[in-house]
Chains A and B, each alone.
Chain A
């Protein structure tokens, strides 16, 4: 996607989320910059506490009370519309979000058909059209017997079906951008596959962009065009999914890949990453991964965080050359 042709759908510049933690202030998201083009799927991957979910919530303006947001966050509504707006105008119309746990995200006092129709009503459909649209959407996301199921309550459905209802409800406003926060993490692989399939299909049909947050690299490999790897509140590697997974330019990405047990190889020792992600109250200076990095050099502890182009994509590592012999191995 060429960013110079038309403004990106979503442009995030130096996003910083500050929260109160006792007497001090912490920044679990600390200077995140990325953009999402129309129709593009961006995956954000990282361990718990890396700030990936908080980044997503910041985009939609769903931050906890008392938190402060710095940096800029701009949507451009349509390709020829240069006017840029903030999250408040986009929420409910241009952007939708799906969450990890559908039971807590769905209103238990509404039949699922109405949950989906609500969004369709919101974009100006008549009651009758909205109802028809809700059945169409439930059918499109793979809910069997959509017409009958639309009269059921959320608690009558299985976890997989609930998640599909949530996707249908999110799509009912015809969003240009869908934010997904670990939508399949709690599901069985078979159900996950049944959900990712229609989601990918609908994304193509509706030319919808997507930001997909997960800790599962294999899922990202399946559904995303580009990938952003987050560590300690920052993006440390950004590039096309294929390039990043085939030739990671940051030791953290390489270590994540080495930690995941693979289908192909038989048993052996998994690499793992020693230590734990840093506490946001005391992020280390310089490269934040340096204390856990196997390839650490002296200047890593003082290096400023900056994404630079190395090979096919961007990395924040100041010594990506040290990874080359590792990858070749």
Chain B
């Protein structure tokens, strides 16, 4: 079976200054590489978690998949056909996104009903006379009362707004739902109900879920497979259970060690990771993580490790991830 979503060598580069001035001086155009040659296969119905520190490129990857940022090089193939920069409405609607801050992603001057009805009419999802009914159905789907159709976003609580954000994405009956830090701004009790909702919707509607979060416990809860990103690259790609029990990349280990957790007593500051990710655009020779890595040896500063492993679903980009085997340069 071919994967639903295939990403090949995807690179997203943002210009940071004048390309003309740079060319006149005979230098390459200045820019930062937010996503640096990522390849990824996602099968239909998968639940993929994407974790990493701020600035690792996880949100840019999501935006590139939805078509919100231009792709510099590489390709995105969706359901067998290439996703170009310009997508027609029918393609657009198949990958939808739920954003972090529902209060700034909903139009404050439109009622929830107006927001949903506009979507349904622009994308011609249902015949005109059925739109109202469909909007009610959508609210019921995200466990909100139909009375909210006439409400403005400011009257809603944070959890309700996030549910509207989900309803809005689902209005277009997407195949893939990308949740970018969608529960980060919510209280734990509300977060729990939104997570339960997403789990249920995924099962009921057969959605493919890409869940981006910096909260490892949340990712552990909702995702079956997790990728760890660092400096725009995937450094580990494993089934969630395995990643959390036995991380292979030292960066994954450090992330897991740094997270406070209930139930096990941990001293603050005990994670080995020092410093912060280097600023963008400062690509060093060898492994990008070597400067902060507690296990770094001379090979790490010279040879960039390839993302590799015993099988396509167990991969890590570290020279020492898989003892004795699968070592190679990029």
Residues of A within 8 A of B (CB): 47-48, 144, 158-161, 188-194, 196-201, 215-219, 221-223, 245, 255-264, 266-267, 269-274, 276
Contact = CB atoms under 8 A, between A and B. Distances in A.
Interface string B129-165: 0000000000000000000000000000111000000
B258 interface: yes
B306 interface: no
Interface of chain A, helix or strand or loop or mixed? helix
Interface in B162-197: 187-193, 195-196
A189 B255 contact: yes
B220 interface: yes
A193 B217 contact: no
B305 to A, nearest CB: 20
Contacts of B222: 261, 267
A260 B261 CA distance: 10
Contact of B268 (A199, A272, A274): A199
A261 B268 contact: no
30 contacts: A159-B54, A188-B53, A190-B271, A190-B273, A193-B271, A193-B273, A194-B269, A197-B267, A197-B269, A200-B268, A201-B269, A215-B187, A217-B188, A218-B261, A219-B260, A221-B260, A261-B220, A261-B221, A262-B221, A262-B262, A263-B217, A263-B220, A263-B264, A264-B263, A266-B220, A266-B241, A270-B192, A270-B193, A270-B195, A272-B192
A215 B254 CA distance: 23
Given A194-B271, A261-B221, 5 more contacts: A47-B187, A193-B257, A200-B267, A201-B269, A262-B220
A190 B256 CA distance: 9
A188 B222 CA distance: 20
Nearest to B195: A270
**Across chains A and B, which 9 residue pairs bring their CB atoms closest together, nearest first?**
A197-B269, A196-B268, A272-B192, A261-B221, A270-B192, A273-B189, A193-B258, A218-B260, A259-B192
A197 B241 contact: no
A237 to B, nearest CB: 15
B325 interface: no
Given A158-B276, A272-B192, A260 B269 contact: no
Contacts of B258: 189-190, 192-193
Contacts of A261: 192, 195, 215, 217-218, 220-222
Contact of A260 (B188, B267, B273): B188
B261 A262 contact: yes
Given A191-B276, A196-B268, A270-B196, A216 B189 contact: no
Nearest to A197: B269
Given A196-B268, A262-B261, A144 B275 contact: yes
A228 B248 CA distance: 39
A314 to B, nearest CB: 21
A196 B266 CA distance: 11
Contacts of A191: 53, 276
A260 B270 CA distance: 23
A216 B262 CA distance: 10
A200 B192 contact: no
A99 B266 CA distance: 24
